[in-house]
Structure 1
Amino acid sequence: MSTIEFDEMLVSNADFLKPFAITLTRDNETAQDLFQETMFRALANKDKYNVGTNIKAWLYTIMRNIFINNYRRRTKQNTIFDSTPNDFLLNYNQVVAANTAESHLKIKDIQAAIHQLPEIFRNPFLLYFDGYKYAEIAEMLSEPLGTIKSRIHFARKLLKEQIQRF
């Protein structure tokens, strides 16, 4: 298929994309951006279009994938815009004193809870806590991978119960 034929087919079948973009975005400006991005990607990837394939379905798929990827990107960024003036914080000097005694007590309690674990759970958990991967721990202890995973899981469960008591 020649470039001119592809371009003509693309333009003649592009009108149905605009309502679909509005349905996805529920905003005219965002829908226009999505439409333009879809057309750009379709033109950039015309070599991937197989002759005889339903072009409408191909374009729908491109638009849907762009929308999903943009949505995922936005949720990962989790951007929060704060338009309130924060001038009052510029010259606000406040001293914070950390209570290290309380944190040392908590660490001692956690270490005691770890050492109270049965050895069968404690050893894999300590290795995992030191940064070893499950497969490495399984190899070190000559145990199946699933056994190591379940022992670490049960160690976490027991620790959670112990620490909640404090």
Structure 2
Amino acid sequence: MLDGTLKEIPSSTVRNGEVVELSESERFDLGLLAYRKNLKAFACSLARDVEIADDLVQETILKAIVNRDKFDFDTNLRAWLFTILRHLFVSAVRKQARSAELTYSISNCSDRAVGGAQEDRLFLKEVVQALRALPSSQRNAILRVGVLGTSVSEVALEEKCRPGTVKSRANRGRETLAKQLW
């Protein structure tokens, strides 16, 4: 397939001595098989690891099959598959980076070790005092959105203000709490 489209995939095949027309779905599957080696080479160039590359190719093919209905058969299948693979790779790298940051921050924060019940109770008391010291609009925004899980739009409707105002109040309240507690 030189141009990356399904034009060069045969539209028919011989089964049991008869010529049978292939459906778009069958031609799509043949296209996936035709580009598997290209996907593997691209994945190896990105991941620099054969096992990770194999996983990326498998995920790409699976995602392509699941999203077959979204593929326009007049477009470039090769480019579509390479885009899926690249997105999967970038997502995996981002996920790995977040995981590494979290592990690093947890391992380097001795002050966040689990304390005794008395320390927890004292800290909770400090949090309650800090919350009470906030202006009521900020306190309500933090409690309703952050603690109770009410949506910003619901709080905005009840408070008769814009969602951005609720977000701003919650953010300012969190910043104030952070300064007071840490």
How does the TM-score come out when normalised to structure 2?
Answer: 0.55
2:169 paired with 1:151:
yes
1:113-159 deviation per Cα after TM superposition (whole angstroms, max 9, x unaligned): 11011223222222222322211111221122111111111111111
Within 5 Å, which residues of 2 pair with 1:102-141? 102-128=119-145, 129-141=147-159
Which of 46, 66, 76 does residue 24 from structure 1 map onto? 46
User: Matches of 1:37 and 1:120 in 2, distance apart?
Assistant: 47
**1:100 to 1:15, Cα distance in 2 relative to 1, 3 A:** closer
Within 5 Å, which residues of 2 pair with 1:8-47? 11=34, 16-31=38-53, 45=68
2:109 paired with 1:100:
no
**1:105 to 1:17, Cα distance in 2 relative to 1, 3 A:** closer
State the partner residue of 1:2: 11
**1:2 to 1:135, Cα distance in 2 relative to 1, 3 A:** same
State the partner residue of 2:112: none
User: Matches of 1:47 and 1:142 in 2, distance apart?
Assistant: 41
**1:38 to 1:2, Cα distance in 2 relative to 1, 3 A:** farther
Contact 1:21 1:34 in 2 (8 A): yes
Identity %: 28
Contact 2:43 2:53 in 1 (8 A): yes
Q: Unmatched 5+ residue regions in structure 1?
A: 79-97
User: Cα RMSD between the aligned structures?
Assistant: 4.0
Which of 68, 87, 92 does residue 87 from structure 2 map onto? 68
Residue 73 of structure 2 aligns with an amino acid whose one-letter code is N
Contact 2:57 2:85 in 1 (8 A): no
Q: Unmatched 5+ residue regions in structure 2?
A: 1-9, 14-21, 100-114
